[in-house]
Amino acid sequence: MHVDRPPVLHPPKGTSAPPPERPAPVVFAQPLAVLPRLAGARVLVVEDDKDSRELLCVLLELAGATVLGAESVAEAMEDIHHSFDPDVVLTDYSMPIADGFDLIREFRRVPSTRAVAVPILVLSGHTEDHWRARVLEAGAADLLIKPVDPTFLITRIAAAVASVGGAPH
Task: Identify the sign of the CA torsion 49, 51, 57, 63.
Answer: negative
What's 40-163's CATH class? alpha beta
Domain ranges of the chain: 40-163
pTM for the structure as a whole: 0.77
* 48-95 residue pLDDT tens: 999 999 999 999 999 999 999 999 999 999 988 888 889 999 999 988
Q: What is the pLDDT of residue 113?
A: 62
Q: What is the DSSP letter of 20?
A: P
- The secondary structure element, H or E, covering residue 80 is helix 73-81
Q: Tell me the CA distances in angstroms from 74 to 15, 96, 138, one per residue in order.
A: 54, 11, 18
Query: Is 109 a residue whose pLDDT tops 80?
Result: yes
If one counts every other C-beta atom within 10 angstroms of the C-beta of residue 116, the result is 11
Which is higher by pLDDT, 5 or 107?
Answer: 107
Q: Which helix (H) or strand (E) holds 69?
A: strand 66-70
